[in-house]
Amino acid sequence: MPFPKIDIIFKTLGSTAIKREERGTVALILEDEVPEENPIILNGINEIPDNLSEENKEQIELAFMGGVKTPKKVIAYVISKGTEQDPTNYTEAQKYLETILWDYLAVPQIKSPDVLPMATWVKGLRDNKDMEVKAVLPHCTADHEGVINFDTDDIKVGDKIYTAAEYCSRIAGIVAGCPLTMSTTFQVLSEVDDVPHLTIEEFDKAIDEGKLVLMNDGEKVKIARGVNSLVTTTKDKGEDFKKITIIDKMDMWKSDVKRTVADNYTGKYPNSYDNKCLLITSVQAYNDELALQGILDDSLPEYNKVFIDIDSQKNYLKSIGTDVEGMEEQDIKKANTKDKVFIASNPKFLDAMEDFKINVSI
């Protein structure tokens, strides 16, 4: 009998989602003398090599500070420092990062002209190369869910003042270490003494413009709202796509399903209707477990369903010359689609509690 292993794998992935995904990987591109061992893969600050500059050691430490949790890993790719005659070249670092798994990228020494090209590269990884990665970049109006536009300068920590670029590693560590059941909104940066003070209207404007900014509430400094740079919504990308926590959950779902199907199903079973139904049942079990974990919303029975994508299957059948006009829906579901599998799902991801209205009667 086929498929029991896949069913178990999907259930396990669902039941352990919070534990597995609450600590992500931060990738850093650092400018320094390029070491013999490059990239540098670190599981903690005690593994930071001595041959890095003090500035870059600090950047790794900032990433490892995390938030609720610390990142599980920091991958530092070191490139040579650019000059006016020989500008910084990110090509080799980018080629390497396209071949490994990571969650959030920061480039603390990036110059203004290189910010948008770096954002464009990250957007391309998500949109065209099927990689669930994100970047934290300074003053970057990317208008995309894969780029966090960190927009606070003059960050005072003790006697030192940091620019937005210099603190992107810290923000990347916070979002990479944020559990899936929480958001980064109001996450406290306890080491920060002060940041520029904005009015409520100025905060609202910045957030509406897709900027992640820090605020001083009079007692502590914290993230004003956990948003990415997406501003322009569409039918396919609604308001939910502006939230960092929602994108993290979407990325986890996509990564889990894609990897499990590739490892345990692709090429291993006949493409029969029965086997398609077994796969649907397995992914449904995953969705059900995520709902139990508080990652998916199961408040309505039509949420989180997995099913054969009738429209896509119908269009494919037309493309190979099958007359579908007189076919019933069940006939379309059971039709031979050669090596193609068309499955869809409608997972509803739960957001964190952020906006409160409390009425008090006296």
CA torsion angle 247 229 135 168 (round to 10)? -120
Residue 167 DSSP one-character state: G
Tokens of 273: 């209707």
Task: Kindly tell me if the per-residue pLDDT of 1 is higher than 60.
Answer: no
Residue 149 DSSP one-character state: E
Hey, where are the domains in the chain? 22-244
Instruction: Give the Cα separation of 91 and 118 in Å (integer).
Output: 10
Own/partner contacts of 135-138, CB < 8 Å, gap of 24 or more, are 135/104, 135/105, 135/106, 135/107, 136/104, 136/105, 136/106, 136/168, 136/169, 136/171, 136/172, 136/175, 136/212, 137/106, 137/107, 137/110, 137/168, 138/110, 138/163, 138/164, 138/165, 138/168
> Counting Cβ atoms within 10 Å, is residue 18 exposed (0-12), middle (13-18) or buried (19+)?
middle
- pLDDT given for residue 264 in this prediction: 84
The torsion angles phi and psi of 76, rounded to 5 degrees, stand at: -105, 120
Task: Kindly tell me if the per-residue pLDDT of 42 is higher than 80.
Answer: yes
Task: Kindly tell me if the per-residue pLDDT of 196 is higher than 80.
Answer: yes
- pLDDT given for residue 233 in this prediction: 95
Model confidence band, residue 81 (pLDDT cutoffs 50, 70, 90) = confident
Tokens of 68: 């609720």
How does 205-237 read in b/e, with b if 16+ C-beta sit within 10 Å?
Answer: ebbeebbbbbbbeeeebbbbbbbbbbbeeeeee
Instruction: Give the Cα separation of 207 and 186 in Å (integer).
Output: 13
Instruction: Give the Cα separation of 39 and 96 in Å (integer).
Output: 9
Q: Angle, nearest 10°, between helix axes 54-65 and 168-176?
A: 30
- Could you tell me the CA-to-CA distances from 265 to 17, 40, 146 in Å, in that order? 21, 34, 29
- pLDDT given for residue 357 in this prediction: 87
Instruction: Give the Cα separation of 155 and 164 in Å (integer).
Output: 8
Instruction: Give the Cα separation of 323 and 300 in Å (integer).
Output: 36
- pLDDT given for residue 23 in this prediction: 75
- Arithmetic mean of pLDDT, 263-283: 91
Instruction: Give the Cα separation of 139 and 118 in Å (integer).
Output: 12
Instruction: Give the Cα separation of 40 and 100 in Å (integer).
Output: 13
- Say which residue, 13 or 236, is predicted with more confidence: 236
Residue owning tokens 């894609």 = 258
**From its phi and psi, is residue 21 left (phi > 0), alpha (psi between -120 and 50) or beta?**
alpha
CB 144 within 8 A of CB 228: yes
Residue owning tokens 């900032």 = 62
**From its phi and psi, is residue 345 left (phi > 0), alpha (psi between -120 and 50) or beta?**
beta
List pLDDT tens digits, range 215-230: 999 999 999 999 999 9
List pLDDT tens digits, range 323-342: 999 899 999 999 999 999 99
Q: Which helix (H) or strand (E) holds 97?
A: helix 91-97
